[in-house]
Amino acid sequence: MTSTMTLGFIGLGVMGGPMAGHLAAAGHTVKAYNRTIRRADAWLAEQQSKGHEVSITATPALAARDADIVFACVGNDEDLHEIALGENGALDAMTAGTLFVDHTTISAKKAREIDQQARQRGLQAVDAPVSGGQAGAENGALAIMCGGTQEAVDCARPVMDSYASRIVHVGDAGAGQTAKMANQMCIAGVLGGLSEAIRLASAAGLDMDKTYEAISGGAAQSWQMNNRWPTMAADEFDFGFAIDWMRKDLGYALEEARQLGLSTPVTALVDQFYAEVQGTGGGRMDTSALISRLPKGGRT
C-alpha cells in the first residue's frame, strides 16, 4: 500500500468515475473535474456517502493544482488536448516534478506530444490506456499498458494498483497507446468471427449453451466468448463499451498502421462492419452488437 496522496482526476465517465472512486477508497484525497456537472455531482455524493475525502473543481487546472499525481480519462485526442493544454488546462497548473497519467485511449502522436509538453514544464507523463471495460473499472481489475520513462511508470504503478489487475510498461512515450491499438484490433477480429459462429450455430439449430460448453474449453476460447456468447445469442447489447468508441479506437489503429506502411485488411473490414451498425442507429450499443448486422437465417 502506497502512502496517501493528493490526486487530481479529470473525467468521471463510465471508466474514470469508478477509477477515481478506487483511488478515494484507497485513502487518497481526490480532487476531480468533469465537464458534465450532473455526473460530477452524482459521483461526489456517492463518494461522500462512503466517507471518502473528495471534492469537485470548476476547471482541470484546479483539479491539478497542488496534486502529487494528476490522472485523466476523457474521450479522444481533442478532449485530452483541451483538458491538458487548453485554457485552464492541467499541465500549466501542475507543480514541477509531479506526474500526469493519461488513461484516455488516444493516438500515439498525441501521447508523444503530451509527453513533450510535460517535459518542457518539468513534469513527467505516462500514457496508460486501459482494457477491461466498465466491469473492469468497477471491479478494480483493469489491464493497463504504459508508455513513458521507467521512473514515471514506477511512480504511477503503486497508485494505479488500486484499480488494476495488470500493469505493464511497454516502452517509451506513445508505446502504451500503440499497445492499446493492438488490443482493440484483436477484440474487433475476435468479435467478427464470434458473430458469424453464433449465427451459424443458431441457424443450424444447435443448443447454444451446449455449443458454448463444447468449444469454449479449447483453442477458440476468448474473453469475448466467455462474456458475450450468451448475450450476443440473445441479442442483448447493453454493456459498457460503445461501438462509437471502438470506431474511434480503430481509427487511431488504422492511421498508425498507415504511417508504418502496414496492411490491416481484417481491422479495416470489421471497422466498416461497425460503420454499418452505426448507420442503423447502433452507435451507443456494446461492441458485441456487431452480430446485429448479420441475418439469423436457419434451415427451411
Positions marked catalytic: 180
Angle ∠(79,80,84) on CA atoms, nearest 5: 125
Beta bridge partners of 125: 100
- What is the dihedral sign for C-alpha 247, 248, 251, 253? negative
E-only strand ranges, the chain: 6-10, 29-33, 54-56, 69-72, 99-102, 124-127, 130-131, 142-147, 164-171
Using the 8-state DSSP alphabet, how is residue 95 labeled? P
Lookup: cell for 230: 450468451
Residue 104 CB-half CA count within 13 A: 30
The residue with cell 501521447 is: 111
Question: Strands 99-102, 54-56: parallel, antiparallel or unpaired by DSSP?
Answer: unpaired
Lookup: cell for 151: 521512473
